[in-house]
Structure 1
């Protein structure tokens, strides 16, 4: 599938989630490719987490969409999925996310670059936060994208960083 068709399909998939009054926005910086350091440098992450729509399955968490932009112009991600709250204890919180990611990287290993096997992969994330204001949380997060050995190669991409989450409504 061509890049333009993949991007069109992702945008088409995301249209039902576009809402001006999202529940939460997240903005952060992370270290890109912490496992292999083939694609080093920082990455900017932007994410929007929505209130659970009425039609959304009650066990599916809250829907999210986001992007992970390599500031060194390596692999970029567009992703969507669900986010679950693990715990909230005083000012501390934890959450998990799972979904799919479309990447701009190579499918095969070429010239000392990562190879991801498939154009669309799984994406998992874990974050731990500390509430710094009534509607703001500072989070440390780790995300991983790979194809779960459905395609070959399956090198994956792991990033770790800090982000600020703020609730709108």
Structure 2
């Protein structure tokens, strides 16, 4: 029951954010919205133990708050990776830092926490035993700004419990995202 409620809540949050983002942008708190597709539990990093159905990624980035200046002005993120099959879906939040190589090329890293609807006490044919419900979440992107407002990113997205509970197989996705900056 909790698993389907989490997936539904993550999907509803992404839809709400997507529909309200233009109204929140400009002088509002929203800096950027993103949408992407990920290879779920990618076999590029380990043997695939979950579904091969892709994840849909939706993320909103808020403008860097002045009270985080001491941390090199990260933006706060809020997002979800929603599996299109019966694999694990996640909702996450954290901090995102950017570094611009040129006006067009940039790299980015994020760190924070996530909650998932996967298994925590057994592995099934379609879901890993992730050990605990609340996890660490991080991702890294290589991006290219197509225009002043549009960018595309190659992203590696990872969730793990850092061995705070057992087991700790982690879940790693890789994919591409489109970002629109206001």
Which has more helix, going by share of residues? 2
**Matched residue, 2:16:** none
Distance of 1:164 and 1:111 partners within structure 2: 33
Q: Are 1:52 and 2:64 matched, yes or no?
A: yes
Distance of 1:114 and 1:57 partners within structure 2: 38
Structure 1 residues 26-62: Cα deviation after superposition (integer angstroms, max 9, x where no partner): 1000100013312222110000000012334530611
SS at match of 2:41: coil
Checking the alignment, whether the CA contact within 8 Å between 1:109 and 1:153 is kept in structure 2 is no
Checking the alignment, whether the CA contact within 8 Å between 1:108 and 1:114 is kept in structure 2 is no
Residue ranges of structure 2 left out of the alignment (5+ in a row):
14-19
**Matched residue, 2:144:** 130
Q: Say which of 114, 117, 121 aligns to 1:104.
A: 117
Query: What does residue range 34-73 of structure 1 map to in structure 2 within 5 Å?
Result: 34=42, 35-39=46-50, 40-56=52-68, 58-59=70-71, 61-73=74-86
Distance of 2:117 and 2:69 partners within structure 1: 30
Kindly state the Cα deviation for residue 94 of structure 1 after the two structures are TM-superposed.
0.4
When the two chains are superposed, the root-mean-square deviation of aligned CA atoms in Å is 2.4
Q: Say which of 92, 107, 116 aligns to 2:130.
A: 116
Residue ranges of structure 1 left out of the alignment (5+ in a row):
none
SS at match of 2:64: coil
TM-score (norm 2): 0.79
The structure-2 alpha-carbon separation of the partners of 1:57 and 1:131, relative to structure 1 and needing over 3 Å to count, comes to closer
Checking the alignment, whether the CA contact within 8 Å between 1:51 and 1:63 is kept in structure 2 is yes
Q: Are 1:149 and 2:149 matched, yes or no?
A: no
Structure 1 residues 133-160: Cα deviation after superposition (integer angstroms, max 9, x where no partner): 1210110000100000000011110000
Distance of 2:162 and 2:99 partners within structure 1: 23
Distance of 2:151 and 2:124 partners within structure 1: 40
Query: In the comparison of the two structures, how many residue pairs are matched?
Result: 159
